[in-house]
Amino acid sequence: MPVTMLTIARDLNISVVTVSKVLRNQGRISEATRERVLRRAKELNYQMNWVARSLVTRRTYTIGLVLPEFTHPFFAEVAQAVAETVRPRGYHMVLSCFEENPEIEENEIDSMLARQIDGLIIATSQPPEHLDIFQRIRRREVPYVLIDRPIIGLHACFVGVDNQAIGRLATEHLIDQGCARIAHLRGPDARISEARMAGYRQALAKRGLRIPGSYVVEGGHRDASGYEGMKILLKERPLPDAVFCFNDPVAIGAIRAILEAGLKLPGDISVAGSGNIHYSDLLAVPLTTVDQGSRRIGALAAELLMARIGVKTSIKPETILIPPKLVERQSTHRIV
């Protein structure tokens, strides 16, 4: 006979409800009872019958996390925070990557909807004029939360960072370090890149600094593209004395180009990034960056989603913008 929660409950002379709470890691259960249940479940080689459970609860206890890529440290930290938030509530996370391709993104989301996913967290690549996928999600009455990349006009929950503040913080810091010819390696995603560049321009205007248009160069979002973008900036005359980079990988590529050119960092050129990825402080010249709260974004998005799963009444969408924080390191420390 198959081992069920009732089997464990009878063996331990406790209620099935108590066994269920322990196995789903929910509710207030004494540590002694929890250990007894888990020990007996292991002895009996108990496996949760997810199909039966979903038939009773009308849930699959899975959520989908849809990301443009797995390898970028920002999204990796978001994913870890989401998993850590939903796991104690008995949920599993299904991770999908769409490689910055809107068509693949749609297909991946449709596939998750077909598998009766309970909710979605999405860092979308969909252009504002093509939002059919979100209409399909709504028709299925599946709650979802957008992260990192907002879509203006879409009636949806969003958790991200104030990108304009990122550009402003980084540029103001470079000015405070005595830099006056500050270049910018911009990113590829218009929604984020334009906001960070707006903050950069605001900070320059506030301090009365003017820079040539050629000081703004496409830097992509990886170290290789940052390297190539910095090589273009190194041809400028006068040479920029600082560069604000779209993200930390771009900044790392820029640093490589600067050092290869025989220039000193930060003596000749200061570099600031964004993201505060986990190895930014381990570089040969530790990188000044702006922490955009990647783990907090993941945790808050998961909390918003959990609060909406199973709720039949309409809940007003929330927008949460996390204030960024400057993290000062050696790549910008100059003698003013």
- pLDDT tens per residue across span 158-185: 999 999 999 999 999 999 999 999 999 9
Instruction: State whether 140 and 167 are in the same domain.
Output: no
Whether the Cβ atoms of residue 285 and residue 295 lie closer than 8 Å to each other: no
Q: pLDDT class for 268, splitting at 50, 70, 90?
A: very high
pLDDT surpasses 70 at 48: no
Tell me the CATH number at 142.
3.40.50.2300
Pairwise CA distance, residues 22 & 10, whole Å: 15
Q: Mention every residue, 6+ apart, whose C-beta is less than 8 A from residue 51.
A: none
Q: pLDDT class for 53, splitting at 50, 70, 90?
A: low
For the stretch 96-127, pLDDT in tens is 888 878 889 899 999 989 888 899 999 988 88
Q: Which pLDDT belongs to residue 55?
A: 44
- Asked if the structure places residue 123 within a domain, the reply is yes
Mean pLDDT, the chain, integer = 87
Instruction: State whether 199 and 82 are in the same domain.
Output: no
**Count of domains forming the chain:** 3
> Could you tell me how far CA 246 lies from the centroid of its own chain?
15
pLDDT surpasses 80 at 242: yes
User: In 176-328, where do the E strands start and end?
Assistant: 182-186, 216-218, 242-245, 270-272, 289-291, 319-322, 325-327
Among the listed residues 134, 155, 7, 161, the one whose alpha carbon sits nearest the alpha carbon of residue 66: 134
- Pair of tokens at residue 39: 């020990």
Please give the average per-residue pLDDT across 122-137, as a whole number: 87
- Asked if the structure places residue 54 within a domain, the reply is no
Least confident of 67-71, 311-315, 321-325: 311-315
- Asked if the structure places residue 195 within a domain, the reply is yes
Q: Mention every residue, 6+ apart, whose C-beta is less than 8 A from residue 193.
A: 186, 187, 246
DSSP secondary structure letter of residue 288: B
Instruction: State whether 151 and 182 are in the same domain.
Output: no
Instruction: State whether 218 and 279 are in the same domain.
Output: yes
Q: What residue numbers bound the domain in which 26 lies?
A: 5-48
Q: Whole-model pTM? A: 0.78
Q: Mention every residue, 6+ apart, whose C-beta is less than 8 A from residue 181.
A: 211, 215, 238, 239, 240, 241, 242
- Asked if the structure places residue 257 within a domain, the reply is yes
Whether the Cβ atoms of residue 79 and residue 51 lie closer than 8 Å to each other: no
pLDDT surpasses 80 at 57: no
Pairwise CA distance, residues 248 & 97, whole Å: 21
Instruction: State whether 14 and 121 are in the same domain.
Output: no
Please give the average per-residue pLDDT across 56-76, as a whole number: 80
Instruction: State whether 75 and 120 are in the same domain.
Output: yes
Instruction: State whether 134 and 237 are in the same domain.
Output: no
Encoded amino acid at 259, one letter: L
- Asked if the structure places residue 68 within a domain, the reply is yes
Among the listed residues 286, 222, 278, the one whose alpha carbon sits nearest the alpha carbon of residue 253: 222
Greatest mean pLDDT range, 135-144, 200-209, 311-320, 327-336: 200-209
- Asked if the structure places residue 53 within a domain, the reply is no
DSSP secondary structure letter of residue 332: G
Instruction: State whether 240 and 311 are in the same domain.
Output: no
For the stretch 1-44, pLDDT in tens is 667 777 888 888 888 888 877 777 666 788 888 888 888 888 87
